[in-house]
Amino acid sequence: MCNLYSVTTNQEAIRRLFRVDRDLTGNLPPLPGVFPDYAAPIVRVDGDERVLAMARWGMPSSRKALMEAASARADKLRAKGREVDFDELLRLEPDKGTTNVRNTASRHWKAWLEPAHRCLVPFTSFSEFNKGAGGDIWFAFGEHRPLAAFAGIWTPQWTSVRKVKTGPETIDLFAFLTTEPSEPVASIHPKAMPVILTTEAERDAWLRAPWSEASALQRPLPAEMVEIVARGEKKDQAR
């Protein structure tokens, strides 16, 4: 599971590579470490335009997962002799979000697989953790970290509780797809790797094609297309 990546290229490079028509991000600084629930740039479609905007990393968790978490919490409160308003407990159940999407056949994800909810997630490197291999292992398309994009999905103005101390928030959210890993990722993290779009044709198909066509993009990269560029760091400072 990829829960850490970086996007350290400059803002103009993002606008240029992803053919952005409108930039809503303001002054976008380099982001050497993007963690779950952090705000990061995405490229989404609005009509005929590509829009660069900020969103928080972590799509809504399934209602089943939230029900199970709220039920467990309710049981603990009842065991202490406290009365429980389960509907209110469920409404306020913290949801840190789902960062990676693998099973696109799940009913939970189907509403977000149409073009209106697809996005590009710019990145320059991504990390998979492997303690035996040195901690956070960073992958990129070369030592100079050329800009690329994950195949993402997003949803606007979703209301949920991300943190108990913050309470309900209404925010734009995103995640990206994963797939079977190829080398060298497979040797570090054999379960999955992010879905990466490598050409403008792939990026355009992801943003606009029907799911029957776009679903073919959920596949691993050819072996050795990415390489290990750093080990053991929680942020990738290279530019």
What tokens were used for 177? 């797809």
Of 105 and 89, the one with more pLDDT: 105
Whole-prediction pTM value?
A: 0.91
pLDDT over 90 at 62, yes or no: no
Note the pLDDT tens digit of each residue in 178-230. Answer: 999 999 999 999 999 999 999 999 999 999 999 999 999 999 999 999 999 99
Q: What DSSP line would sit under 9-42, residue for residue?
A: S-HHHHHHHTT-SEE-S-S---EEEE-TT-EEEE
Question: What per-residue confidence (pLDDT) applies to 4?
Answer: 97
Question: What per-residue confidence (pLDDT) applies to 61?
Answer: 85
The whole-angstrom distance between residue 230's C-alpha and the CA centroid of its chain comes to 21
Give the rounded percent of residues in the chain with a pLDDT score beyond 70: 95
Class of the CATH domain delimited by 5-59+98-168+190-231: alpha beta
Question: What per-residue confidence (pLDDT) applies to 124?
Answer: 97
pLDDT band at 89 (very low <50, low <70, confident <90, very high): low
Mean predicted lDDT score pLDDT of the chain? 92
Question: What per-residue confidence (pLDDT) applies to 99?
Answer: 95
What mean pLDDT is predicted for residues 123-128? 97
pLDDT over 90 at 88, yes or no: no
DSSP assignment letter at 134 = T
The whole-angstrom distance between residue 54's C-alpha and the CA centroid of its chain comes to 12
Question: What per-residue confidence (pLDDT) applies to 90?
Answer: 67
What mean pLDDT is predicted for residues 28-38? 96
Residue range(s) occupied by CATH 3.90.1680.10 in the chain: 5-59+98-168+190-231
What mean pLDDT is predicted for residues 57-65? 85
Q: What DSSP line would sit under 184-227, residue for residue?
A: THHHH-TT-EE-EE-SHHHHHHHHHS-HHHHGGG-SPPPTTSSE
Question: What per-residue confidence (pLDDT) applies to 66?
Answer: 67
